[in-house]
Structure 1
Amino acid sequence: MSLPRQSISPLRQRMLEDMTLRKLSDKTQSAYVRAVRGFAGYLRRPPDTASAEDLRRYQLHLVETGVSPMSVNAAITGLKFFFEVTVERADALAKMSPVRVPHRLPVVLSREEVARLIECAGNDKYRAALSVAYGAGLRTSEVVGLKIGDIDSQRMVLRVDQGKGHRDRFAMLSPVLLQTLRVWWRTAHAQGKLLDGGWLFPGMNRVNPLTPRQLNRAIHAAAQAAGIDKRVSMHTLRHSFATHLLEQKVDIRVIQVLLGHKKLETTALYAQVATEILRQVISPLEGLPPG
């Protein structure tokens, strides 16, 4: 992670070095620095001088100003790293505690909605990217991180290099998805948009990959064009992939592997939104004798 040298204080430089030593991702490093910077802005003095009461008041400030539970917890996580690792003052966190995040079921599209969404994507590149997210169940970061060499048409798999948790895995590559990717490859190759061995979905400059923000803008535009009024994001396609597989009676442990989930409990959430399965269950009300 690089920042302009003139903007880095010795304290921040130490924190950056601590995060680099632990090989934290750039995204995590940015989040942790943002958390400490936000606290320093509230405190109006160097953050390493804060007391446990200062940190308690800051958490109260976040809650009272309407910051979401997930954002509050993200701030606590960043401050926890700073105080425990960088300044070695774990005692300062004594009065901070994570906020309970409300449990919400994921938004899932029907198969017809997924088909309309992909069809309404702006061009071949976005149609292919959305097809990968749904057809292989990949996260947005995993979609944009794909390279041409990650497509293994012999074994019919996609190689996911360093997905979430810094883990490599293989994702499924169906014949329909392979055909979609070939259509995109032919179009992009003819237009000189792809580098040999480069990104499968390059950005405006083919040296760089498409960004998650660009892909999210594309799916929001596609959802609007398709007339879908649900809260749609790229992760919605991953949720839909898992739910539809479960409705097809694919073993949940297989789905866990395909999604790259560490815990089966995470995958089991989809049993709550697999409506095809729910409709097959016979209510005990149906078995009551006539009354």
Structure 2
Amino acid sequence: MGTIGNAAHRERWNRVEIVGQKATFKLKDIWALRVRLQMESRVRELALLNLGIDSKLRGCDLVAIKVRDVCHGDQAATRAVVMQHKSQRPVQFEITQAAREALQAWIKQAGLRPEDYLFPSRLHDSPQLGTRQYARILGHRVDELGLDRAEYGTHSMRRTKAMLIYRRTKNLRAVQLLLGHSKLESTVRYLGIEVDDALEISEQTEI
């Protein structure tokens, strides 16, 4: 009897803890963040935001990037390849002009060398920015935008550009490659495409 009760309790606890996919940022949110960071001269955060959106990387892979991964000499590259920690598969991404400018400004200000982590930690016991620190930085900015922190996170950064590309092209295979997924089904689940398409149809047929 006690075992059944404990099992039921664990099941209820698990259901409570299940969290849905993080929302993607709207373009107006991204631009609002960029403007705010530029006005505040937050060079590191601006570079982190721009590269996070462009790269579509998981937080653990983004904070592990080194200067040489995104730069050729003293110039930011237009394209980069990063090995993903989770899948051990390389993923390629383009770096937009805005991101390149932000990266170069940050590298110059911080005096970073090619072998340095692009986003070094300000904590003495860590050589690079941690994923929790990254999440806290983003969470603070989400609050400033007046958005619900529970609905947004580092995966919002990863999903935002991927979702924009899918909505414009409907090319799932391309998005799969950009996200570095080994299976197309993973991309479908990650983007929540079926749900989004259903909502879009619903909005179009609203009376």
Answer whether contact 1:147 1:200 (CA < 8 A) is retained: yes
2-side partners of 1:261 and 1:109: how far apart? Answer: 21
For CA contacts below 8 A with separation 6 or more, give which structure has more relative contact order.
Answer: 2
Counterpart of 2:14? 68
Counterpart of 2:70? 151
Counterpart of 1:178? 100
Q: Secondary structure at the match of 1:248?
A: helix
Counterpart of 2:133? 214
Match of 1:107 among 4, 11, 23: 23
Counterpart of 2:171? 251
Task: Report whether the alignment pairs 1:239 with 2:155.
Answer: no
Larger Rg: 1
1-side partners of 2:13 and 2:186: how far apart? Answer: 25
Task: Report whether the alignment pairs 1:130 with 2:52.
Answer: no
Q: Secondary structure at the match of 1:117?
A: helix
How large is the RMSD of aligned CA atoms in angstroms? 3.4
Deviations 1:176-211 (A, max 9, x none): 22122112112212xxxx344110000015870000
Counterpart of 1:83? none
Q: Which amino acid is the alignment partner of residue 253 of structure 1? A: R
Deviations 1:53-111 (A, max 9, x none): xxx779727616x533597xxxxxxxxxxxxxxxxxxxxxxxxxxxxx68x45412211
Counterpart of 1:223? 142
2-side partners of 1:59 and 1:70: how far apart? Answer: 16
Q: Secondary structure at the match of 2:174?
A: helix
1-side partners of 2:204 and 2:49: how far apart? Answer: 36
Deviations 1:230-285 (A, max 9, x none): 5221111112121111122162211111111111112224324657x9369964x9
2-side partners of 1:62 and 1:141: how far apart? Answer: 33
1-side partners of 2:53 and 2:195: how far apart? Answer: 16
Deviations 1:107-154 (A, max 9, x none): 122111122234445721122112211122111001101000101568
Q: Which amino acid is the alignment partner of residue 25 of structure 2? A: L
TM-score, normalised on structure 1?
A: 0.56
2-side partners of 1:59 and 1:135: how far apart? Answer: 46
Q: 1:58 to 1:259 in 2, by over 3 A?
A: farther
Query: Structure 1: where are the runs of 5+ without partners?
Result: 1-55, 72-100, 287-291
TM-score, normalised on structure 2?
A: 0.77
Query: Structure 2: where are the runs of 5+ without partners?
Result: none
**Length, aligned pairs only:** 194
Identical positions, percent: 21
